[in-house]
Structure 1
Amino acid sequence: MFTNYYLIFNYFPLIILFIYSPINSQIQTSEFSNFQNELPEEILNRTYVQEQTNLQKYIFKKYDRKTRPVQNQSIPTTVLFHAYLMHFSVDQLQQTMFLNGHIYMTWSDDKATWDPSLFNNVRTTMVKTWEIWHPELRIANSVSGVNQYFEISRRSHATLTSITPNKTKVESYPTFSVRVGCNFDFRDYPNDEQNCAEFVRVGSSTSIPDSISRLFYDFTRTRYSRS
């Protein structure tokens, strides 16, 4: 089969060139036409997506999300924690309070790192929370049970920002919905004032004890008054 094509090429060189040249020209013209029809924003978006894809492939090539992301496991991981309450409701009869809101957490990751100069100076990427190591949250006074796990939605995301080629800042913004137990005292009604706290424990079951340092900030009390 290949020999026959070779013979045809020798006997009819001009015909072969005449047939193939327009096809190549049409392909090049078509590609150029498609490129011209693309908006600058579309070209930039395609380039950005490709850069992010390549970066995340590099980050997670050898990443182990079950291991606390430090080079030295004897060094604790500091987690900054803040809760923003969006909605709550009180069940006076059941002595419970339902809370809904957002949690902001940030910590350093020494494993999900990259050198921005090797990735077109891209310093930030967004990943699924379940793809990286994430501190565990437990509700000490949940009505579902003592130290009940706080479930993080698999749809939530985390932002990775390169601080140095060997250190990355992780920021996570999961939502939460939890029902906690309270101890209401209505003996001074209607002038009573109730205290009901949510006790959150931040830790990791895969790490040694005291390997997570917790820093709670901007944690002011929430006051609610009946009108």
Structure 2
Amino acid sequence: MGRPHYGRFWWFIFLTFLSIFHGSALVDQNRQIEQSILKDYNKRHRPVKSDSKQMTIPVFLMINHVEKVDELEQTMLLHGLLWATWEDEYLRWEPSKFNNTNMISIESWKIWQPSFALYNSAKSNGWYLHMQGVPATVMYSGKVYSSGSFSFHVTCLFDYTDYPYDIQECPIVIADWIYDLSKVNLSNPLKSDSKPIIRLTFDPIRNESKKHVAGSENACI
């Protein structure tokens, strides 16, 4: 048997301790900044210092799964992810005062969130979109990045007069239900005429695309 490598052992212990210490320091730094910027914070009010200022919120949708297409009810059940970003003028700090930390994570329920609503919802209890499952990322400039999952039961207007060559479109109408467009305006981060990203990967192992959705083949949205 060879001699034990005590030097390597203690070096491993040192690196482990350094990693734990560094991680703990980051958590403490995150907590200090959070306590500082949330001291007099009111999440119920629109986060602008001038009430006349319009907030522009880029919104990005990705549809992961089309669960059901109901030709009789003229509805479609969709599941996916939503990303949004906005500027919060009350969530700002000087990085130099906090060890040059310019980005932290905050539980989404602690800060102001846009009140997204699906205006063409087919279900009365499924029109509000919650974005509180994943912590939001906040930059020192007040820029907030947030995300959430959704299940939309949307109303459609299917037309099969050209079947089997018909192309169907089903709109997703999202807006802020508390403020009008002069206060909160949703925008497309890509381009004005682009549609939500559709990712219908059915088998993650073989990476085969989903071809049938609720009896419809190659459904279009």
Match of 1:62 in 2: 40
Q: SS where residue 98 of structure 1 aligns? A: strand
**TM-score for the superposition, normalised by structure 2:** 0.75
* More helix, by proportion: 1
Cα RMSD, aligned residues only:
2.5
Structure 2 partner of 1:158: 136
| Corresponding residue of 1:171 | 145
Aligned-partner Cα distance in 2 for 1:202–1:170: 17
Residue in structure 1 matched with residue 165 of structure 2 by the alignment: 191
Bigger CA radius of gyration: 1
Matched, 1:51 2:25: no
**What CA distance in whole angstroms lies between the structure 2 residues aligned with 1:151 and 1:213?**
16
Deviation at 1:38, TM superposition (A): 5.8
Q: Name the structure 2 match of 1:220.
A: 195
- Structure 2 counterpart SS, 1:130: helix
CA contact (8 A) 1:136 1:149 kept: no
Indicate conservation of the 8 Å contact 2:83/2:148, yes or no: yes
Cα distance in 2 for residues equivalent to 1:209 and 1:196? 23
1:211 aligns with 2:176: no
Offset, 1:185: 2.0
Output the CA distance in 2 between the equivalents of 1:197 and 1:100: 14
> Is the 8 Å Cα contact of residues 80 and 105 (structure 1) preserved in structure 2?
yes
Q: Determine the structure 2 residue equivalent to 1:201.
A: 175
Which residue of structure 2 aligns with residue 41 of structure 1? 19
Q: TM-score, normalised by structure 1?
A: 0.73
How many residues of Structure 1 are paired with residues of Structure 2 in the alignment? 186
Contact 2:133–2:148, Cα closer than 8 Å, also in 1: no
Which sits farther off after the overlay, 112-121 or 210-219? Answer: 210-219
SS in 2 for 1:62: coil
Counterpart residue number, 1:28? none
Runs of at least 4 residues off by over 3 Å: 35-38, 221-225
**Is this contact kept in 2: 1:87–1:101, CA < 8 A?**
yes
The 3-state SS of whatever aligns with 2:113 is coil
Q: In the alignment, what sits opposite 1:99?
A: 78
Contiguous gaps of at least 5 residues in structure 1: 1-34
Partners of 1:211 and 1:91 in 2: how far apart? 36
In 2: Cα distance, 1:222 partner to 1:208 partner: 26
